[in-house]
Structure 1
């Protein structure tokens, strides 16, 4: 410790000098420990109003974890995890297929998104539909976005 010209004790460290005078505390992070033999599968799923997933207004959102057991705030996590496993976590495969619904051509866009991790790999998925009827028809009433 050093006494400055005003009689106040001060400690100057290299990190303080490097960060422009702001004192910082550095902590050594403990190595991550595996809690499970399963690769993580944890997602946040949303349905939002708007064209752009970054600016759309979220109307509904749920969490879904699939390993080692199906859980989360999703109303049917077991069915949703089973569907995702069937398409190997490829959300675009859930959103394809012909619609058997007759929908109006009203433009009221709906965006569905999935963000998180599927079997240890990052997931970022979004797709926009012209309206909620088109979304329901395109999804063929799958369990993943049925919330």
Structure 2
């Protein structure tokens, strides 16, 4: 008999909980459901953010960085670069191809002293990853190759 009473009480408790849960679920269904909003772009521009360095050494991995600046070109020129607007314009003119900045032959006369200098560009240009470097025999050769540009003029 005791077993039957405990079973009846447990069944009544479970039924009450079930009804309460059903009522709560009905109340939850009565409220309007919030739907997830699609991801919105924060900007109409692809990111263009770079770290530019000049260092001593034979390659980018082992070079000792002497100077470094940041350059952001989208949505507007900014960063620690001394001439961000001109540098961004120069990069737009070569469509972000850093190699094009050093293609022109140097007209500067330099000694043959071997004191290598490395310039690097790391980051993102118009949404694409950039990892570029160039090595010059010495500072004079670097200045001669980059003479007309402002990207590495810092």
Both structures adopt the same fold (TM-score exceeding 0.5):
yes
Match 2:128 to one of 121, 131, 137:
121
Tell me which residue corresponds to 1:68. Answer: 75
CA 1:58–1:98 in structure 2 vs 1: closer, same or farther (change >3 Å)?
A: same
Match 2:105 to one of 82, 85, 98:
98
SS of the residue aligned with 1:63?
Answer: strand
- Rounded to whole Å, the distance in 1 between the matches of 2:91 and 2:141 is 21
Structure with higher helix content = 2
- Rounded to whole Å, the distance in 2 between the matches of 1:142 and 1:110 is 17
Tell me which residue corresponds to 2:91. Answer: 84
CA 1:110–1:34 in structure 2 vs 1: closer, same or farther (change >3 Å)?
A: same
Tell me which residue corresponds to 1:25. Answer: none
Shift of residue 33, structure 1, vs aligned partner: 5.1
Are the aligned partners of 1:97 and 1:140 in contact in 2 as well (CA < 8 Å)? Answer: no
1:1-147 maps to which residues of 2 (within 5 A)?
34-147=41-154
CA 1:33–1:55 in structure 2 vs 1: closer, same or farther (change >3 Å)?
A: farther
- Rounded to whole Å, the distance in 2 between the matches of 1:63 and 1:80 is 11
- Rounded to whole Å, the distance in 2 between the matches of 1:34 and 1:50 is 41
Shift of residue 139, structure 1, vs aligned partner: 1.1
How many residues end up aligned between the 2 structures? 117
- Rounded to whole Å, the distance in 2 between the matches of 1:105 and 1:122 is 35
5+ residue gaps, structure 1, are 1-30
5+ residue gaps, structure 2, are 1-37
Are the aligned partners of 1:65 and 1:77 in contact in 2 as well (CA < 8 Å)? Answer: yes
TM-score between the two structures when normalised by the length of structure 2: 0.73
After TM superposition, where is structure 1 displaced by more than 4 Å over at least 4 residues in a row?
none
